[in-house]
């Protein structure tokens, strides 16, 4: 099936892996990110029609332009993947206004802009699929130095659920999915705000083994084929989240005892 799929944050990491996986499956792609060199490299690798849009998704006008370019080149959009994101390494009590503003802009507002830009098109067509890439850390605080990133992803989780419920009432063929990776072997940690290098696996404090971006991309591709409300990409994530919410106090006490 040749679907038209928009991917933000597509120049590296999970976004680039999604593009390669979907290209392998024969989809046509609109790849968006700030770095044109990275986008062009990914576009060359995907093996299917790919249109590159250099954009800063923290700017609403840029997100609208991604949509407009997708419609101009391909005529319609089937799936929109809000994948752009950035982490932080800063304890919550040390956060600055700038830290919080950037985490919200990159991890929440960019996805909100994407949903607001493309959903009217999906409603008009009577079908479509929004996929928001969040994080397991938006559910369980096993990496507290991520602080404002975790909080931003929790906000994204809530917005996604609200949009999904609203659309299901009136437009049941417009799907809204939340995908929550755990630890993934990319340069995400190295590029986090305030980072001095990759975060040691021990700092995550969970039994999860890192996944490759290709493993996460394959799961996201399957969500496109079989829409689901929420998906944890790591097999250990769902059980760990259930344990956390079942008894938060005990979970946190056990985590402190291990540290």
Q: Looking at the annotation, which residues are catalytic?
A: 149
Alpha carbon dihedral 29, 31, 36, 38, in 10-degree steps, equals -90
The CB density around residue 147, as the number of other CB atoms within 10 Å, is: 24
> Closest by alpha carbon to 223, among 120, 74, 79?
79
CA 71/CA 30 separation, integer angstroms: 10
Strands 128-133 and 79-82: parallel
Q: Is the dihedral of CA 76, 57, 183, 229 positive or negative?
A: negative
Pairing status of strand 174-180 against strand 230-232:
parallel
Length of the chain: 259
- Whose tokens are 């933000």? That residue is 8
Secondary structure in 3-state letters for 83-97: CCCCCECCCHHHCCH
Question: Coil, strand or helix: which one is 176?
Answer: strand
- Structure tokens of 142? 């096993």
Beta strands in 112-232 (DSSP E): 128-133, 174-180, 230-232
């Amino acid at each position: 099936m040749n679907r038209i799929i928009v991917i933000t944050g597509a120049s590296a990491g999970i976004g680039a892996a999604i593009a390669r996986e979907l290209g392998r499956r024969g989809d046509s792609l609109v790849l968006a990110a700030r770095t044109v060199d990275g986008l062009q490299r990914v576009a060359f690798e995907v093996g299917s029609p790919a249109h590159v849009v250099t954009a800063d998704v923290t700017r609403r006008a840029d997100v609208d332009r991604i949509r407009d370019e997708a419609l101009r080149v391909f005529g319609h959009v089937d799936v929109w993947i809000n994948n752009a994101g950035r982490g932080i390494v800063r304890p919550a009590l040390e956060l600055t206004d700038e830290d919080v503003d950037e985490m919200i802009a990159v991890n929440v507002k960019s996805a909100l802009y994407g949903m607001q830009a493309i959903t009217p098109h999906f409603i008009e067509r009577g079908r479509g699929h929004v996929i928001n890439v969040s994080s397991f850390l938006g559910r369980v605080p096993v990496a507290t130095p991520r602080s404002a990133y975790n909080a931003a992803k929790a906000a994204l989780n809530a917005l996604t659920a609200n949009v999904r419920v609203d659309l299901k009432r009136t437009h049941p063929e417009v799907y809204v999915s939340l995908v929550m990776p755990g630890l993934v072997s990319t340069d995400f940690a190295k590029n986090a705000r305030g980072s001095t290098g990759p975060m040691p696996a021990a700092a995550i404090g969970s039994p999860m083994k890192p996944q490759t971006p290709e493993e996460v991309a394959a799961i996201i591709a399957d969500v496109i084929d079989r829409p689901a409300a929420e998906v944890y990409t790591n097999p250990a994530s769902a059980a760990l989240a259930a344990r956390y919410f079942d008894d938060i106090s005990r979970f946190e006490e056990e985590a402190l005892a291990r540290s």
